[in-house]
Amino acid sequence: MAFLVAGTLRVAAHMADAQDSLARKGTYSLRAPRAALTICSPEVPDSTVAILEATLQALGFHSCQRREASAQGFLGELARFREQLDAQGGPVSCALVALVAPREQLRRPQLLVRELSRCEALQGHPKILLLLSSAPRAAPEPGAFLTGLRELCGRCPHWSLLQLLTEVFGLASRESCRASYCPVLRSSLRGTLFLQEAGLWDQEEGSPGAQYDLSGARAALILAVLRERPGAQRDVEALRGLCESLGFQTVLRTDPTAQDFQEELAQFRERLHTCRGPVGCVLVALMAHGGPRGQLLGADGEEVQSEALVRRLSRCRALRGCPKIFLLQACRGGHRDAGMGPAVSPRFWRWLRPSPPTPSHADVLQICADAPGGPTPESLDLADVLRVYAATEGYVAYRGERGSDFIQTLVEVVRAYPGEDLLELLAEVSRQVCALDVLGPDCSEPRKACPEVRSSLRRRLCLSRAGVAAPGCANSGSPLTHSRPVGRGASPSDLVQVSNPQPDAGS
């Protein structure tokens, strides 16, 4: 009996902590213990490990395990770390795993992410994976990146982790002598993460001052397949209205073929080149059925690669140094996520109110400090890029008659707080989307969707219309605006809950 009572109380405490992990209106609670693990390949210098451990302490991880392993042993070491956390019998408020190895050994981080996400003690809590290349010519050297992060933590303890990383990305890329250097983060966080205790109380100290200058022209391109995608029209209208309210001149093309996707993007890029003044910001929304290899299906059923479109526009000379936002409402595979909840014996359900499940890949932050040639090859041309996906890699993105949860929630949140940091707003979008249950057309059980953010932004990005200059592009009276009629949409407040959702998957 004592064992049963102890087990029940332990599960109840776990549930209460999971329910409270985002109780501060989208801010993670870090009241439970934290855990950190460093896995280094044998050739990593001790000096680099020492700097890493000092940085982890500055971030609030006061004790850190250190293990040495070859690339083949990384997954096994992480599995042992996960088992150790689960064996403690209580929740862990945050876990950070740092991998330091030659660049070629860091190519498959998703296997490690899946292993860490299996940890029951971390369900509903942030999981951070830091990838550092130990290559002799890494740009910058791992120690330089870590030192910058540690010093910034000391000066600005009230900044969130995403704000700290954005600032460090900017400092690192400006100081790097290699033109190909571009750090990047990949996030499914559902809230703001302050690793310093001061972050919860010292908000009056202000936010990062380094912001993108959005006083130049703003341009948006919306390419949306409406055919056989019920509700897509609602998304188009909601997003178009948001863009125009924020001062973006908007190009809208509905039902593009695969060739049209490429041609419209090329024409959009050419218009940007002919602008008389500087371009402040661009936004591109791609909405279509999708597939597991990043392909989008045009209205003709032919495929076009979304990543190729992103790279093509990102390399536009007129956009060097300005933020480029890509929104992708499309499936990225066929997996349907039932979500994860605490493991509880059925006999306990009558006494305990279970916490709602969270998507399996939520609450993860990957930081690639030396991206070229590594897990997500980037170049300076792809700096200042923000990609936002409606679903994590390999999973279905849902859409219903009243639109998609992702687009409708994003529009509602940005309309409400246009002057806030967009990265933080996207975490709030993820929180709201992840809280919803959807019923797909081919299953009777509730399913979950989890947006994913990839960012190489180097400054704070706020889309407030304040300070927007009059657009100044050549060759027209209304140079960046044309569309086919798509009908009226509904207000954002009508569109948050999806009914009878359909997956945006390709055939």
pLDDT at position 237 is: 97
Q: What is the pLDDT of residues 174-185, one digit of tens each?
A: 665 454 567 899
243 among known catalytic residues: no
pLDDT at position 315 is: 85
Reduced to 3 DSSP states, what percent helix, strand and coil does the chain have, rounded to the nearest 5?
A: 35, 20, 45
Separation of alpha carbons 408 and 429, rounded Å: 10
Q: What is the pLDDT of residues 92-132, one digit of tens each?
A: 999 999 999 887 777 778 889 999 999 999 999 999 999 98
Question: Choosing from 64, 316, 322, 331, which is the catalytic residue?
Answer: 331
Separation of alpha carbons 327 and 277, rounded Å: 25
Report the amino acid identity of residue 346: P
Task: Name the CATH topology of 2-155.
Answer: Rossmann fold (3.40.50)
Token representation of residue 396: 């279905």
pLDDT at position 43 is: 84
Q: Are 407 and 239 in contact (CB under 8 A)?
A: yes
Looking at domain 217-345+357-362+384-503, its CATH class is: alpha beta
pLDDT at position 501 is: 65
Question: Choosing from 64, 289, 316, 361, which is the catalytic residue?
Answer: 289
The dihedrals phi and psi of 378, each to the nearest 5 degrees, come to -130, 170
Neighbours of 1 (CB within 10 A): 5
Q: Are 288 and 348 in contact (CB under 8 A)?
A: no
pLDDT at position 208 is: 57
Neighbours of 154 (CB within 10 A): 9
pLDDT along the chain (507 residues), means of 10: 40 45 75 93 87 92 90 92 92 93 80 92 94 64 81 88 92 61 89 74 51 94 96 97 96 97 96 89 97 93 94 89 96 90 49 68 91 45 91 92 95 95 96 88 82 95 68 42 35 34 63
Residues sharing a CB contact under 8 Å with residue 138, sequence separation 6 or more, in sequence order: 103, 132, 370
pLDDT at position 183 is: 86
Domain with CATH 3.40.50.1460 in the chain: 217-345+357-362+384-503
Of the chain, the percentage scoring pLDDT greater than 90 comes to 54
pLDDT at position 377 is: 42
Q: Are 387 and 213 in contact (CB under 8 A)?
A: no
Task: Give the end-to-end CA distance of the chain in Å, rounded to a whole number.
Answer: 54
Q: Return the bridge partners of 438, or none.
A: 447
pLDDT at position 454 is: 96
Q: What is the pLDDT of residues 333-384, one digit of tens each?
A: 999 988 887 544 444 444 455 567 889 999 999 998 865 444 344 455 678 9
482 among known catalytic residues: no
